[in-house]
Amino acid sequence: MESRSTLLETFVAALDEAFAVAPMEAEAEASVARIFEALRVAGTSGTVQGTRIPVCRHLGNAYSFGRSGSAQLARVTDAFAALEPNLKWAVRPANGPFASENWSTGHANSMIIGQGGLEQRKDVAVGASLLAPDVRYPDHNHGPEEVYLILSPGRFQHGNSGWFEPGVGGTLYNEPNIRHAMASDNAPLLAFWCLWVGSQPPADLGRPVKSSE
């Protein structure tokens, strides 16, 4: 049986605990339950080399918000900060509607668990997204359902909703294939996302969509 590194296992446990005390709708609760039940069994260890890009300089500021939240949010922030040097950060390969002009240099994503992550698996994807201040992420959608845990201030939009702020420690559920986006204001936005991939092919994650605001 595969086993996780102590750093990754600590992060997974802390993320589970943070979701457990976060406000969630019934659909989000069900998705999180599926995801963390699957994560009780470790996948295959990945061969990722830790790589930072310039926007990662905003991580420290983002951590300060997570550490000021609940005890569980502070623990998952610390667990992620310890794990982060092992992660590969990269920009999103595809653009999409309504992205801000500074988007290409003002964001980074990292797969923690899933295809290309520290733990390779096809049923679950867990990762992080970071936006520098004043960045608007493009509209996109994907087949797998998704639950976010928010560590710092930021705005989100999905479907036909207006922009809303889950708040530090808040959550957001995206049903399969719904159009969604996120944006930062005067603080960096750091969020964890968990997808129940199930039988969806990895290429289905995060395709841009044609939409109107």
10-residue averages of pLDDT along the chain (213 residues): 89 98 94 96 94 98 97 98 98 85 94 96 96 94 93 94 95 93 97 85 38 33
Return the pLDDT at 199.
56
Number of helices (H) and strands (E), helices first, in the chain? 4, 11
Return the pLDDT at 96.
80
As its CATH architecture, domain 6-202 has Sandwich (2.60)
Edge-first strand order for the sheet with 145-150 is 44-45, 119-120, 107-113, 124-131, 189-196, 145-150, 171-174
CA 27 to chain centre: 18
Alpha-carbon distance of 83 to 92, in angstroms, equals 21
Return the pLDDT at 142.
85
E-state strands within the chain: 44-45, 107-113, 119-120, 124-131, 140-141, 145-150, 155-158, 171-174, 180-183, 189-196, 207-208
What is the bridge-based pairing of β-strands 180-183 and 155-158? Answer: antiparallel
Return the pLDDT at 209.
37
Q: What is the pTM of this model?
A: 0.91
Write out the two tokens for 164: 């809303």
**Contact indicator for 127, 46 with CB cutoff of 8 Å:** no
**Contact indicator for 137, 181 with CB cutoff of 8 Å:** yes
The neighbour count for residue 33, using CB atoms within 10 Å, is 12
Return the pLDDT at 1.
55
